[in-house]
Each structure stands twice: as C-alpha cells, then as structure tokens.
Homo-oligomer: A and B are copies of this chain.
Amino acid sequence: MSESIWAAIRSEPPATTPFSSNCPSRVVLDHVTSKWGVLVLVALSRDSMRWGELHRYVEGISEKMLAQTLRQLESDGFVLRESMGTVPPRVDYSLTALGQELAALLIPLVQWVGDNVGRTTVPLGATA
C-alpha cells in the first residue's frame, strides 16, 4: 500500500503534451488563447497600463471580462497588479517576466493575423 503511494509519487508527471487531455498546459493554453487574454497580454507588452486605459485600448471588452481576464492572468503569473492606494484609486497592470516571454510569442501571431486577414477566406459578414 505504502509502496504504491511512493511509486505514484516518484513517477514523473508522465511528460504530457498539450495534446494529452489531462495535461496542465491545456489550462494555461486556454487562458492565454482566450478571446480577451491574447489582446490584454499584447496590449501590456509595450508598457504598463491602468485599468481605464486597458478598457479603452481593448475595444469592446466589458468591465466584467476585463476584470475576469486580468484576475486570471494574474493568478497564472503573467500579469502584475499594482494598486497605488491613492484616492481616487490608481491601479497599474504590467507583465511579469514570464508574461513578457509569453507576449513575445503572441505578438507575431496577432501581427500576422492582422496583416493577413485579407488572404484568408473568412466568410464575410462575420463581424463578431
């Protein structure tokens, strides 16, 4: 009994890939590639931004989704939240070192998509 426990503990997390259904990276990947996650991460890649700035910059995002996305990315360790504790409140959001590594990979992607929408055959009228 104790043996099986130790065996289980000792056994390495069996080198799962994002293609494995139980791989933790699936979760992170979902956060990162979420509808708003990508845009927020890229938005913060230039410089830190305040809540209101982000809200205006990432057009169309609701307050709820902005809050949710930021909390998510913060809990993943990609975003740093700094409250200045002033009145009226001022809160700055920036990328952590980890977040910057990630954003570095996201930028070319967003850039490419932006540049090449015209080459795609996306059914017109899909404005959503």
Q: Which residues of A contact B (CB under 8 A)?
A: 17-35, 38-39, 42-43, 57-60, 75-78, 98, 101-102, 105-106, 108-110, 112-114, 116-117, 119-123, 126-128
Tally of this chain's copies: 2
Q: B98 to A102, Cβ gap below 8 A?
A: no
CA gap between A123 and B27 in the complex, in Å: 10
Q: B27 to A127, Cβ gap below 8 A?
A: yes
Interface pairs (22), CB distance under 8 Å:
A17-B114, A18-B39, A18-B114, A19-B43, A19-B58, A22-B127, A23-B117, A24-B117, A24-B122, A25-B114, A26-B128, A27-B127, A28-B117, A29-B110, A33-B34, A33-B35, A33-B38, A76-B121, A77-B120, A98-B116, A102-B112, A102-B113
* Known pairs A76-B120, A76-B121, A127-B22; A113 contacts B39 (CB<8 A): no
User: Given B18, B105, B121, which contacts A77 in the complex, CB threshold below 8 Å?
Assistant: B121
